[in-house]
Structure formats: structure tokens, C-alpha cells
Amino acid sequence: GDTLNYRLKWLFNTSVAGDIIADTGGFFKKAGLDVSVNEGGAGKNAIKELELGYANFGVASADQVIRALEKGADVVVLAQLFQVNPMQWIYRSDQPEIRELSDLKGRHIGVTFGGNDETIMNTLLAKAGFTSKDVRISSVRFDFTPFLKKEVDVWPVYRNSQGVILEERLAAEGEQVKFFNPADYGVAFVANSVVTSGTMLKKHPETVKAFMTALLSAWEFAVDPANEPQVLAQIKKKDKGTKNNIRQKQLKATRPLIKPDKGTKIGIIDVGAWQQTERIMIQEKQIVAPVDVTSRLVGPKK
Amino acid sequence: MLFRRIYQFLIVYCLGVTGLLAIKYATGLSNYVIPDLTLLFDTARRMLTGYFFDVLNTLSVTVLGQMVSIFMAFFVGIIGRKSSWLGSFIKVMAYNIQAYPIVALAPIIFILMGDGFLSRLLIASMICYFPLLLSVLGIMASPIKDIEHFYIATGRMRWQLEVKIRAFENLNKLTTVIAGSATLAMAGTIVAEFIAADQGVGYSIRIALYQSDLARILVALFSIGIIISVYQGILETVGEQIKTKWFAPKGGELL
Amino acid sequence: MLFRRIYQFLIVYCLGVTGLLAIKYATGLSNYVIPDLTLLFDTARRMLTGYFFDVLNTLSVTVLGQMVSIFMAFFVGIIGRKSSWLGSFIKVMAYNIQAYPIVALAPIIFILMGDGFLSRLLIASMICYFPLLLSVLGIMASPIKDIEHFYIATGRMRWQLEVKIRAFENLNKLTTVIAGSATLAMAGTIVAEFIAADQGVGYSIRIALYQSDLARILVALFSIGIIISVYQGILETVGEQIKTKWFAPKGGELL
Amino acid sequence: MRFECRDLTFTYPEADNPVLENLTFSMAAPGFNAVFGPSGVGKTSFARILAGGNSGPGGNALIYEGIATILYSYNQERLPGWANTGRHLEKVCPQKNSDLKKELVKIFKVEAFLGSRFSQLSMGQQNRMNLIRYLIQDFDLLILDESLANVDEALRETIILAIKEIFPAKLFLYISHNLMEVARFCKDILVLSRPGKNKGAVVVPGQNYETGYTADPQAIDRSMLEIMNAV
Amino acid sequence: MRFECRDLTFTYPEADNPVLENLTFSMAAPGFNAVFGPSGVGKTSFARILAGGNSGPGGNALIYEGIATILYSYNQERLPGWANTGRHLEKVCPQKNSDLKKELVKIFKVEAFLGSRFSQLSMGQQNRMNLIRYLIQDFDLLILDESLANVDEALRETIILAIKEIFPAKLFLYISHNLMEVARFCKDILVLSRPGKNKGAVVVPGQNYETGYTADPQAIDRSMLEIMNAV
Ligand SMILES: Nc1ncnc2c1ncn2[C@@H]1O[C@H](COP(=O)(O)OP(=O)(O)OP(=O)(O)O)[C@@H](O)[C@H]1O
Ligand SMILES: Nc1ncnc2c1ncn2[C@@H]1O[C@H](COP(=O)(O)OP(=O)(O)OP(=O)(O)O)[C@@H](O)[C@H]1O
Ligand SMILES: Cc1ncc(C[n+]2csc(CCO)c2C)c(N)n1
Ligand SMILES: [Mg+2]
Ligand SMILES: [Mg+2]
């Protein structure tokens, strides 16, 4: 039949291991599906592509989904890939450790203005009762030179991709790092999820089901430590630039984000976290009115 | 002139928005992909003033960046006009640096200069200077024999004079390019802000893009368009005055 | 000519790298901020071949994009050369579209047109055409009375002839600008790839940039520089031949 | 066919004084007539105002009777450089005038460099090539503003006589600094003198010699004297 | 002071035949000499080769004795447009020649338009303005390639006589199509005729009249005849 387009949120790298395996490992093919798995990136937006018909499935972060719903987009959430948001902050070990939110006081923190890390950090600061005078916030871009040059102390990263790269790169110069995870302080802002359009779900429920089954079993395969050599070999084909040892460590860091413990079913939707995410976005004035995101969560829920 | 520029811009802008709306309603897209007029006006009401000042902020860098560009273009153009080894070397250097997309050079610039005002200025100038350079090179490399002969023959030719003669004879072309380069400097500044700074309209666009908010981008483009039209209109008026007053051209040509 | 371009590029490149290394050792920056030579060579060994083919991929779009740009620039330049309302309108349109930084327009383009070859080509052309346009406009708007008078007086003047006369009299300037615009088209293509495509060296740079891997960026810049030098050397050689053969210029001037 | 000028005044935008002031005269056409006067008196200005017709700066001060098409040629014109001069000549030659073109090419002695680009010609060659392309057009009045200034005298005489012979029904206004030539070959000579001198414009008859003429030195001298007195 | 030319041959790169072939003559300097010949014979080419000196295309075929500085002026030169002609004249006038400049400005009748831009001048005015700036330079040989072609005859005579009077120690090469003028005012006239005719170059003596001369019509006629025979 027709090729199904699956638009990822980010570039091919280890943090999309399951998506790569679903394709190259033949999971889609076995399910009788012809799927083209397409790389994402800063200029890509899966939800818009769903509407324009360029994509049938996609990966989007929760804040994207909520924003799209506010503007009337017809999007539904099929699965929540990350149980733990990989959006964390890195800092050098020679700096005072951040044990509680009050330890953020006086730090020079990077945030991507307009990005979800801004929303998350603002929530954390509000929780700690800080005003903008208590910390120094700097605008962050895609490259982490200011962190490397020690101009900014606490830097936002995706724990399992840039987090690993930075950790390695600093280790090569004899520096150790720590990570600051918002989830440890009660902020569970949902990250990447698999989405499709409501129309797709209504018109082709079988296809959607087959797709999700194949995709999630590919993810199961990808995060199973027993399959590590095979999985790494598949990723390498798509992500040539990264060194082998980095890729291995990235995979290791990805597993607990996708499958925090043995019992967790991959893709399970954490409704409470979604509700919190919507609340946070209202509080932070990212949206004006509630969008009732729970009604759009159609996949298996916790 | 100025007035004409502005309403012509409004026509262009309205054409663009109408085109987008046509696509929206023809294919039934939601406000998330293409905003409707209500959303657009609402966004404009909320953001326009802010964006307006952002553009003015950008414009301040633009004006300086354009001056730096003009200076650099003339500098390189004048040195590079000769077909000597040095001339050709300077040209290769200027061309090569240009061939590197600024997005690739930006990290190096940030490493060297931080991400403050200077980086913005440098990137804006680098984007703007090259097109100027091409024109200046073309003009500076074409001798005007019937004027230059006397000065060469009597040993009076200096590079300043040569440059002056060729610039003057091509004043029309130069003013066209310089006035036109205003938009290049503006675009350059916005690109710089987009990749680096935390001020200016380029930065605002970056945020809007992060959130895939087309309405805000359209409002930002509107403020950019209005202000660039005014700026360019002023430049052109000044250019005309310089041409007619200062250089007192062939007034009242009968042919 | 070609050979000279290449070794001049090598000098420029080495100067750049030496400068970076000087800063590295002067301020004691670690390898992760500025790579040392070992890391640079190691990266080159791993990536150079791949980047080389990426640049060739980019070049294929560049060449096409340049042609489209030249066509667009002449099209708009010829229509916009008149100071009539339409001419001025077309000019405002061309200028305004230019003033919008492509980084702001690109996402709209990529969303509406998909992320294939066409988007890349369109963006590359949009970046490259404007500087060309400025030159073409300047040239096309300057009458050459001593040649044009006869054709106007005898009612023979057509726009094609007018364009031909002005282009021919400014052949030097035009070839300079067209050859120079090669690097603009290249930069434009890379920016397009950087923003959204999934092929070409711009895409590779984006990946390197997301990992702040300066060594890879430097290697990519090296491949870009070599190939653009060759491409431009070829363009210039062809340009020279066109000028000397086809147009049989004022051979053997005594003054 | 007649040409008249009534109270023509013209001042350049930035000038203090008019170049032409209350210029009034009339001239019968056809014929090979001249405009004569010292350097800077306003011959070129006058000629270009004429060429502008009633819609130009001359406006209603110019009265043309039976003169519809006016062409103005001058000695600094150039032909485009992309083809040789022969090709350009062909291109601008109306079908019906191709024999005329051939004839003129011979008389003007330009055959040898039809294959050259315009920029490769000597000044006199450029003058001739330019004039030929005007002569093969349709016109009622052709102004030659020093159009032959850089051609040698012998050839200039040949050319003038040929023009008079071939185009007996057309009006020419020949601008030249060669007094003798003007006195010999022109019919009516409009002599301009500086405004302010308030002499106005005088039309002096020339000897109007045709091919095969026998020169009458005294008559020529008389004409020359009359012209010089009018300046 | 002497000037000689031995076997000068020159062919334009793309041409089939040489413009100058085995040109051999010598000329005593100083004096107001001329180069004469029909249009296209090679006067301009010859003049420009001379101006190139021994390092130009003429090379060793040119022998200059006591002639160090050669200037070449022609009638299509322009002055830059950013200042009025008076300012330009001042700018290029060596300190010591400022009186000379004033004198020439008067004789050339250019006072009235020192305040105008070059492009606003009539052709003859442009010719004069251009020539003045050459005359106030230091030179041994000045070539005037139709430099006065667009000036009226009366003024041209005044100018030539003044030049002869003011610069008795310099060599001039005057190129003009006015046979009478050349015969009257020039000392030695190099007459060029087409190569191939194999006549070579002939130097004919002219009447070399000075200020206050009384014309001898028969002598002039004789010179003119001699020149025409040499062509
Ligand atoms: N564009 C202009 N602006 C102002 N004055 C001008 C302009 N063009 C010409 N003049 C002046 O008008 C006068 C007449 O000029 P014009 O060219 O008509 O003279 P002319 O009779 O053709 O002289 P010539 O024989 O030297 O060519 C001159 O004094 C000249 O300086
Ligand atoms: N650049 C050139 N290339 C080829 N041939 C040329 C070039 N310049 C001049 N010629 C030819 O050389 C010959 C002599 O030209 P030149 O200009 O020296 O003549 P001239 O004696 O000055 O004539 P005129 O009196 O018409 O100015 C002409 O036949 C001309 O066509
Ligand atoms: C898995 C994953 N890795 C990287 C990015 C890219 N990214 C988006 S924002 C940002 C900087 C911190 O906000 C970075 C690097 C992503 N989107 N998803
Ligand atoms: Mg005149
Ligand atoms: Mg000549």
C-alpha cells in the first residue's frame, strides 16, 4: 500500500534508537507496513506535517501538543516515549552540588528562551520562591561554547544525547560533571510522544494499531541490554559522525528514561504528568486557557 | 517616495498574507499551521509594540553594520581591484570567507568574541559586505580612459584619485547598491540575532519559531517590513539629494 | 589561475587555523573549545571523504541555484529598472522579500513545500539573487546615451536591445558579479541545508554544531573552501574566455 | 516644406543667462542648409531643441511645415560593440533602402572596415559609419552636428556632394566649424551669434555647389565675409 | 633637440595588414609641427605609439634627442565631474605655471565657464579646457590629436599663434584635418599615406606663420599642393 511517513522530532541519534530499529530492524515490515522514518530537527514540526499530509505519524513534545491543541489542531497522543524527561541541566562537579532547589541561588543558569527548558526552569524557580534577582539566567543556543568556556555554570542538555557527549568531552580533560534533573524536584514535564491526527485514528484504526505495536516492540528490542551490539550497529548506520563509545554510553543513558524499571510498559502515558504539564503551561502563560489535553491521550495510560 | 515605499510594502505584505489565507481555507488548515485573521490581529495587538521596538534595536545594529560593510567593501574592493598577486589574494580571501555560510562561522565568532553586540555587528557586516564588494570590485576594476589618461600621462595618478574617478562615474550604480544593501544589512543583523543574540527582532523570531507560532512571525515580518521601507526610503531620498545637490550633475540634458 | 586560487585558499585556511591555535594556546583553552592539531587531523581522517561528497552534493544545488538566481536577478532587474510605478513596485517587492531574513522564511517554505530538493533550491536562489539584482538594477538603470540615441530617435528601441546595450557596455562588472555570486549561491545552499535539509554539507555542519564539535566544522570548512575555489576558478576562466573570444573586445588598445 | 522659428528662448536649468534668446528666422526646405557660429554659441543646444520637436523644450516656438520626422546625429555617437559595423548597418537598414546603403558604403569609403568593431575604427571612420546609418532611415530633416568633424576634407566634400545629389528632397542642417566648406556647399546658413549681442539670427545664402561645380573664389569669399559679419 | 623614426612598423593584434609600415623620417625640434593624412591612415595610432616612448610598442624604432617628457592629448578626453573646470585646472597646475595658466585662460576664452562642470560645456569649450591643462604641464613634446577639432576657426588660429609664441622651445605635433591651417601655421608637416601605396612618409615644410603674419596666398597654395601630392 502507500508509504506511511513518520516524522521524528530530532536528528537520527541514539535517543531515537527504537525508531531506527523499527525501520532497519524490519519491525514495520514484519507488521506489513511500509514506513519511511524521517529525521526531525529545529525546522521540522511533526504536528504541522500531520495536518498538511506530509506525515502520518510523528514525534512531538508535550508542550508542542498542548500549543497545537490550543490553536485547534487535530492531534492525538498514541504513546509517551520518555517516562523521564531527558531535558536536564549539566554542571561541573567542582561546583557546589545542587541538592535542593535553593542551591540554585546565585547560579548562572542557561535556558533556551522559548524552549520547554525555559518553562521548566521558571516552574522550578517559582517553586523555590526565587525572583529573577536570585539567579542569573542566560540565553542558550544550540552550541555549548559558553558552558565549555565556563561562562555559564548550569547548562540545559538532553541527558542522553548532549549530556553524554559533554560528559565525555570534559572527562577527556579530567573534569567531572553532575546532572540536575527537574523530575527529582517534582516537576514532571512530559517530553517526546508519538502522535497522529484524529482523522487518521478514526479512518485507519487498524493501521494505527499495527504501527504502534511494531514501533513499541522495536523500542523494547532497542532498550534490551542483550541486543546492545545489534542496536548500536543499526544506529551507527544512521549516525555516522558519533564515536562508538559515545553511542554506547548514550544508549545506556537512554534506557532508564524510556523504561525506568522492568515493569514499565514502554509508551505508557502518564496522565498525571500530562495534567501537570498543562497546568504549568497555563501558569507560565504559555497558553491562555485549558485545552483538556487528557481527552487527546488515546494510547494506553498509567 | 517614502510614502510610496510604505504603501507598496503594505500591498506586498497583504498579498503574502492573502496567499497564505487562501492556502489555509482551500485545504482547511488549523490555526496552528496558518493563523486566521482574528488570531493574527490578536497577536498583533499583543506583540506589535514590542516587536516594533525590537526592530528599532535591530536597526541600530543594521545602520552601523551597513557602514562597516560599506567601508570593508571599499577597502577590499580597492585593494582587490588590481590583478596583481596581492590583489588576487585579497580577493580569494574575501571570497572564501564569504563562501563559508555564516551559520558555520558563527560558533568560531562566538568563541572569539562572545555573544554580545560585537558579534552581532560582525555577522551583520559579513553578510552585507560581500554583495557590496562584488559591485565595488566590478566598478573599481574598469578603467575610465578618457578621464584617467591625463592623470596617468602627467604622473598624477594616485589610487585615491583613481577610486574617486571610477566611483564618481558610477555614482548611479553605487547609490543603487548602497541603498539596496540596507536590506542586506537588516537581514544580516536578524540572522545574527537569530543564531546568537538575546536582543533584537531576530531573537524574537527565534522564540516564535521555537514555538512554531506563525502568527507571531508574520507580525514580526510586518514590523520589519515597515521599518525597512522607511529606512530605505530615507536612504534613497538622501542618495538622490547627494546626487543632485553635491555632485551637480548634467543638469538639463537635451538628449 | 585555477591553481593559484587553490593555493591561495590553502594560505587563507592555514592562516585561520593558525590564528585559532594561537588563541587556544595563548589563553589556555581546552581541546573541547578549540581542538589541537592532533584532534584536527584525526577528525579529518575520519570525516574528510564524507564531507567531500557532501560538498559535491551541495554544489549540484549551488550550480542550479546560481542559474535560477541569475535568471531572477535579470528578470526583476529588467522590469524594475524603470522608475515607473510598476518598476518601483517590483523593486519594493524584491527588496522586501530580501529584507526578511531567510531564517525566518525558511521554516514557512519548508513546511509548505516539504523538505525536498525544491526547498533547498528556492532558499539558495533567494539568498543569491539579491546581490545580483542590485548590480543588475544599477547597470540596467543607467542609460548609455551615445549608443542608445540612434535607436530611440529612429523608434527602434526595444527593451531587449536596451538591456543588451547596457549589459554589453558593463560586461566586466557583470562577469565579476556573476562569478562572485557563485560563493553566494554556495553559502545560500548551505544555509538552506543547515535549516532543514537532510543532505549536503550544511546538514553535516548542523550535526557538528549541535555537538559543538569545532574540529568537524573546521574540516567541513576545508572541503567547502577547496571545492568552491575550484568551481570559481573554472567560472572565471570561462568568463575570461567568453569576454575575449565571443565579444572580441577592443584588441590592442594603444592608450 | 518650410521651417520656422519664432521667438525661441532657452535657458539651461542652472544657468544665469539664456543660450538662445528670441531666436527668430525661417528657412525654406528642402536643401542642404547649415548652422554656423563660434564655439559655445549654442548650435548643439539649438539642434537638440529642434530634434525634440514641438513636444520638446522648444514647444510652439518651432513651426514645421511638411517636416514630420526629424533625426539628430552627432560626432560622438557609438555603435554597440557586440557585432561588426557591417552587421549593425544591415540590422538597421529598412528593406527598401538596401541599395541606398550599398551606394553610401561605397561613397563613404567604409567597405574596408565593415568587418571591424566600432571601437576599432579611427575617429573619421566612426563618423562616417554613424552617418550612414542615419541616412538610410526615413526622415524629413536630418541634423548633422559636427557629424563629419573628424573626416578629412577631401572625403567630406565627396560625401556632402553625394548627399545633396541623392537626397534632393530632404532638409539637412549641417553644423561645422569649417567656414569655407559651409560657404561653398550650403544653401542657407543660419548664423548664430552670442545672445546679448542682440544681433539675433541671420540667414546667409551660401554658394550651394553641386557635383561637378566650378568654384568661383570671389563668390565664395563674399559668402564667407557675409557669414563672418553675421557672427 | 631632434626626433627620428626608423623603420617603424605596427600592426593591430587582430588586423591583417599593418597600419604603419617601415615609417622612416626625422624632424628637427623645437617647432609647431603637424601630422597630416586622410581619415584612417594611422595618425592616431602613430601618435599613441610615439607617446608610449621607447618602452611602448614603438620600441627602438623611435629616437628622441633632447625629448624626455611626451604628452598626448586628444579631443575626446573628459575632466572629472565632481568639481567645476576652474577647480580642476587649479589642481593640476604646477605652482610655477600659475601665471601661464591665467594667460592661457584669457587667450583660450574660457573664463566664462571656469565655474561650470565639464559635462555642461560645448564641445569646443571642452576641447579648449582640456588643452589648457596639458599646456601648463612640463613637457618637451606635446601631441594634439584633433585636440582643437571642435573649436571655431578664428579662435583656433588665435590659440595656435599664442602657443607658438608662448612655447618657442617645445615640440608640438598637431593633428588636424584642416589643410589650410596646417599649411599656414606648421613648420614641418609629416604627411602619412596609406601603407601599401609604398610612398612612405614625407615631411613637407609649411609656412610656419607667427603672430602678426601677412598671408602669402600663393605660398600657402604651394604648401597645400605639396601636402596633397604627398598624401
Ligand atoms: N547641460 C548644460 N548646462 C548648462 N549649460 C550648458 C549645458 N550644455 C551646454 N551649456 C552651455 O550652453 C552654451 C552653448 O552650448 P552648445 O553645446 O550648444 O554650444 P555649441 O554652439 O554647440 O558649441 P561648440 O561649437 O563648441 O560645440 C555653452 O556656453 C555651454 O557652456
Ligand atoms: N584597436 C584597433 N584594432 C584594430 N584596428 C584598429 C584599431 N584602432 C584603429 N585601427 C585601424 O587602424 C587604422 C588607423 O586608425 P587611426 O585611428 O590611427 O587613424 P587616424 O589616422 O587617426 O584616422 P582619423 O583621422 O579618422 O582619426 C584604421 O583603419 C583603423 O580601423
Ligand atoms: C533528544 C533530543 N536531543 C536534542 C534535541 C535538540 N535540542 C532542542 S532544545 C536543545 C537545547 C536545550 O534546550 C537541544 C539541544 C532534541 N530536541 N531532542
Ligand atoms: Mg556643439
Ligand atoms: Mg585619429
Q: How confident is the model at residue B176 (pLDDT cuts 50, 70, 90)?
A: confident
pLDDT in tens, A215-224: 999 999 999 9
Mean pLDDT of chain D: 93
Ligand 3 atom at minimum distance from A158 CA = 3
Q: Is the pLDDT of residue A1 over 70?
A: no
Contact E227, E179 (CB under 8 A): yes
**Cell 511638411 sits at which residue?**
D66
C-alpha–C-alpha distance, residues D159 and D131, integer Å: 10
Q: Is the pLDDT of residue D97 over 90?
A: yes
The CATH fold of domain C2-246: MetI-like fold (1.10.3720)
D101 vs A178, D92, D107, D148, D160, CA distance in Å? 93, 10, 10, 18, 16
The whole-number pLDDT of residue D197 equals: 59
Task: Give long-range contacts, CB 8 A cutoff, 24+ apart: B149-156.
Answer: B149/C255, B149/E72, B149/E77, B150/E73, B150/E77, B150/E92, B150/E130, B150/E133, B150/E134, B153/E51, B153/E71, B153/E72, B154/E71, B154/E92, B154/E137, B156/E92
Contact A259, A172 (CB under 8 A): no
Ligand 3 atom at minimum distance from C210 CA = 15
Mean pLDDT across B158-179: 90
CB of E148 within 6 A of ligand 1: the answer is: no
SS (H, E, C) C162-225: HHHHHHHHCHHHHHHHHHHHHHHHHHHHHHHHHHCCCCHHHHHHHHHHHCCCHHHHHHHHHHHH
Beta bridge partners of E5: E25, E62
- Top pLDDT among B101 and A302 is at A302
pLDDT in tens, A79-92: 999 999 999 999 99
C-alpha–C-alpha distance, residues C123 and C109, integer Å: 8
Distance A167 CA to ligand 3 centre (A): 16
3-state secondary structure of D108: coil
Q: Does residue C155 belong to the interface with chain E, where contact is any CB pair within 8 Å?
A: no
For chain C, percent of residues with pLDDT exceeding 90: 31
Burial letters for D127-143: b for 16+ Cβ neighbours within 10 Å, e otherwise? bbbbbbbbbbbebbbbb
Ligand 2 interacting residues, C-beta cut-off 6 A: C 250-253; D 113, 116, 120-125, 150; E 12, 14-15, 19, 37, 39-45
**How far E142 CA lies from chain C's nearest CA (Å)?**
15
The ipTM of this complex is 0.85
CB of D156 within 6 A of ligand 1: the answer is: no
Window 141-160 of C: residues touching A by CB (8 A cutoff) are: none
Half-sphere exposure of C245 (CA within 13 A, CB side): 6
- Phi, psi torsion values for B81, nearest 5 degrees: -70, -25
pLDDT in tens, B66-86: 999 999 999 888 888 877 788
Residue D11 grid cell: 535657458
Q: Does residue E225 belong to the interface with chain D, where contact is any CB pair within 8 Å?
A: no
Q: What residues contact residue A86 under an 8 Å CB cut-off, 6+ apart?
A: A15, A158, A159, A160, A161, A163, A191, A254, A257
pLDDT in tens, B10-66: 988 999 899 999 999 999 999 999 999 999 999 999 999 999 999 999 999 999 999
Q: What is this structure's pTM? A: 0.86
- What is the residue-level pLDDT of chain E in tens, covering all 231 positions? 889 999 999 999 878 889 998 899 999 889 999 999 999 999 999 999 999 988 888 889 999 999 999 999 999 999 999 999 999 999 999 999 999 999 999 999 999 999 999 999 999 999 999 999 999 999 999 999 999 999 999 999 999 999 999 999 999 999 999 999 999 999 999 999 876 655 567 899 999 999 999 999 999 999 999 999 888
pLDDT in tens, B127-152: 888 888 888 988 998 899 999 999 99
CB of B245 within 6 A of ligand 1: the answer is: no
Calculate helix-pair angle for D123-135, D98-107, nearest 10 degrees. 150
Q: Is the pLDDT of residue C220 over 70?
A: yes
Half-sphere exposure of D134 (CA within 13 A, CB side): 30
- B172 chain-E contacts, CB cut-off 8 A: none
Q: What is the DSSP letter of B197?
A: -
The whole-number pLDDT of residue B247 equals: 64
* Interface contact D125-E40, CB threshold 8 A: yes
Q: What residues contact residue B38 under an 8 Å CB cut-off, 6+ apart?
A: none
Window 237-266 of A: residues touching C by CB (8 A cutoff) are: 240-242
**Cell 579611427 sits at which residue?**
D122
Ligand 2 atom at minimum distance from D113 CA = 31
Q: What is the dihedral of CA E107, E108, E111, E115, to 10 degrees?
A: -160
Contact E26, E6 (CB under 8 A): no
Residue A103 grid cell: 542551591
pLDDT in tens, B180-213: 888 888 888 888 888 777 788 988 888 888 888 8
Contact D136, D94 (CB under 8 A): yes
Q: Nearest Cβ partner of D14 from B251, B254, B255?
A: B251
Q: How confident is the model at residue B94 (pLDDT cuts 50, 70, 90)?
A: confident
Contact D42, D63 (CB under 8 A): no
Q: Does residue B32 belong to the interface with chain E, where contact is any CB pair within 8 Å?
A: no
Q: How confident is the model at residue C99 (pLDDT cuts 50, 70, 90)?
A: low
**Cell 584633433 sits at which residue?**
E146
| Among candidate residues B24, C195, C119, B15, the one with its CA nearest the CA of residue A48 | B24
Contact B166, B35 (CB under 8 A): no
Q: Near ion ligand 5, which residues have CB within 5 Å?
A: D 122-123; E 44
**How far B145 CA lies from chain D's nearest CA (Å)?**
13
Residue D45 grid cell: 543646444
How many whole angstroms from its chain centre is CA D205? 16
DSSP string for residues in chain C: -HHHHHHHHHHHHHHHHHHHHHHHHHHT--TTTS--HHHHHHHHHHHHHHHHHHHHHHHHHHHHHHHHHHHHHHHHHHHHTS-SHHHHHHHHHHHHHHHS-HHHHHHHHHHHH-SSHHHHHHHHHHHHHHHHHHHHHHHHTS--HHHHHHHHHTT---HHHHHHHHHHHTHHHHHHHHHHHHHHHHHHHHHHHHHT-SSHHHHHHHHHHHTT-HHHHHHHHHHHHHHHHHHHHHHHHHHHHIIIIIT----S---
User: Which CATH number is associated with domain D2-74+138-230?
Assistant: 3.40.50.300
Q: Nearest Cβ partner of A43 from C32, C33, C107?
A: C107
Mean pLDDT across C34-62: 92
Q: Nearest Cβ partner of E12 from C248, C251, C255?
A: C251
Count of CB atoms within 10 A of residue A203's CB?
Answer: 10
CA angle, B180 then B184 then B190, to 5°: 145
Window 138-167 of A: residues touching C by CB (8 A cutoff) are: 142-145, 148-149, 162, 165
Q: Does residue D149 belong to the interface with chain C, where contact is any CB pair within 8 Å?
A: no
pLDDT in tens, C70-95: 998 999 888 888 777 888 778 777 77
**How far C235 CA lies from chain B's nearest CA (Å)?**
13
Distance D216 CA to ligand 4 centre (A): 30
Q: How confident is the model at residue B253 (pLDDT cuts 50, 70, 90)?
A: confident
